[in-house]
Structure 1
C-alpha cells in the first residue's frame, strides 16, 4: 500500500510534532546536570516556550497570521531567556510559509521583516551565536519561504478558478442543450396542440373528450415551458451571460498557458505540422485535455516548474501531449486513473482516438491523446 502524506488537521499535527521534536532534540542537553548553564526555572520556561511555538503550528490553516505571530513571539522570548541556542527558529519559518500560502502576503512580509530586525538587534547587542553571514542566510530563508508560499497560493487559486470556470461552462452547456432540444420539442407540442384544438373546436361538440385532452396538453406544455425557463435561469445564474459564445477550442490554448504562467509555471506551447480546421468535437476535446492536464499539474504535481504542450498535426490525426517536470503524478494514483483522466480517456475513445497518461522515468508526468480528424469507427457504411 503506497504511503500517503497526511492532510488537513493530521498534517498540522504532524508538522507541530516534527518541529517540536527537532527543537527538543536541540535543547535536550539543558536537562542534564553536567550541562547546566541556567536555573531550573528558566529552563522550564524555555521548554514551555518551545511547546507554545511548535503548538501554534497546529492552527496554521485556520488562523495563519495569529499562529505565526504567537510562534514568532514565543521563539523570540525563548532566545532572550534561554542559554541553550536550540533550533527553534524552524518553527516561525514554517509558520511564515503557511501565512504566505494562505494569501496573506503583506502579513508574511511584515512578519519576516520583524524576525530579521529582531535577530539583527540581538546580533548588534552581542549575541555571539549569530553573525552577519548567518543573518544574511536567515533573510534568504525567510524570503524563500514567502516566495514559495505565495507560489503555492497562486497555484491553488488557479486550480480553484479553473474548477469554477469549468463548472460554469458545464452549466451553460447543459442549459444550451436543454433549451435547444427539450425546449424546442415542448414548444412544438404546445403549438401543434393549439393548432389542433383550434380546428377541432369548429366541428366537435362542446363536451368532446378529444377537445378537453388537447386543452390539457396545451396548458401542461405551456406550464412546462415556464418551469423550464425558470430552471435554465438557475443554471445560467443571474451574473452569467446566455450561452451564445462558441465552445472553446485549440485557438484558446494560449489563454490556458497564460493562466498557468500566472500560477508560477513555465509553460511552452509548440505546434508541429500545418494547423487545420478541426471538427467541433475534436476542437473541444483538445481544449479539455490541455485544461485538465494543467489543472492536475497545479493540484497534484509536487515541485513542478515547467510544462510542455505540444500539438502535432499529422495527415489523419492530431496528437496532443502535455508533459510536466514534477513528482508524484498528475493524480492521486500513479498510473493515471483519476476521475478527470478517466473522463479524458472516455472522450478520446468516443472520438475514435487513443489516450495515455502516466509517470515518466526520472520524474514528470505525461498526458498524450491521439485524436483522428474523422471518426471512422462511427461512420455508417
Structure 2
C-alpha cells in the first residue's frame, strides 16, 4: 500500500499531504458544518461543535501517512461531539473515512479488531444517550462501521492486486529485455564466429601463397610455372572468400533464411578444403566414410563438421609447421566422429602458445560449433606429437521407408 501513497518531501524531510486528501478534508469539514448548522441535533450547534468538526477534519489530509494516529485523533475529537449529542451525521463521515483508511493499511485481523473496538465505542455512546435502549440507530451505526472496515480491506486487496499486475508486467518487460540482450549477444557471437570461419582459412592460404610468390619473384630466374600456380591459388582464394562473404551477408540480410544455409557445402566440401591446403605444401589425407545423403539428412551437422575441419586445417597451416594431416569422418551408431590430426609441433615442445596461436579464437569457435548441434569437441596434443582435434556430433536416425502393401503381401 505504501508504494501507492502520494507523498511530497519538503526541505525538512516531513511529508506533505496530497492535494486530493486536502480537498477531501475540506469537503468533509464543509459538509459536516453545513449539516450541523442546517439540522442541529438534540443539542443546538454551537462554536464548540464547529471547532470539534473542523479539528477532526483537519487530521484527514495525513490519513495515508499516519492512518493509526489520524484514526485515534478523530475518535478523540468526535466521541465528545457525539457525547454532547450534537448532530451525529455531521461527524460520522469523518470517523468512517479515517476507519476505512486505517483498515486499508493493516491486515484483516487487525482491521476486524479495530472495527469491533469502534463498535463498542459507538454502542457505549448510544447506550448512554439512549439510556440503554436498542434501536435502529444502533444497528445502522454498527452497519456503517463494518461497511467502512470492509471497504478499507476491499481497497487494500484491490491495491495489492493492481500492484501485483504492475509487478508482473515489469518483470515480464525485464525478462523480454534480458532475452533481447541475450539474443543480441548470441547473434554477435555467431556473426563473429562466421566471419572468423569464412575469412581465416582463405586469408591464411592467401598469405602462404603470397609468401611463396614473393620468394620466387626475388629469384634471378624464378620458376614461372610455380609462380603462376601460387598466383592462381591466391586468385582462387580471393574468389572463394568473396563468394562466402557474399553468401553470409545474404543470410544476414534475409531473416527468413537460417544461418549458413546455402553458404556452406557441408561434408561434401571437405575435399575442396583438403585440396586448398595441399596447395600450401601440406599433405592432406581425407577419409570420409558417410553416405552420400548424410549432408541432406543432417545439414546443420554437415555445416558444423565442415567448419570444424576448415578451422582445424587453417590452424595446421598457420601454426603447426606440419607436413601431413589426416581428416577422418565416420558414422558410429547415432553420431558422427570427426578427427583432424597433424604431425606438427602441437602445443608442446616448450611452446606456451595454444594450437590456434596467441589470442586465437579457433578452438573456442570449433567448440561452439560442436555445441550448437549438441555435440562435443576436444583439442589436445597428440600422443606421439602433433595436435589432434576430435568432435562427436549427433546424427539423426536414418529414416527407413515403410514397406508398401504389395511388398508386404
**Which of the five TM-score ranges fits, normalised by the shorter chain?**
0.3 to 0.5
| Structure possessing the higher radius of gyration over alpha carbons | 2
TM-score by length of 1: 0.42
Q: TM-score, normalised by structure 2?
A: 0.39
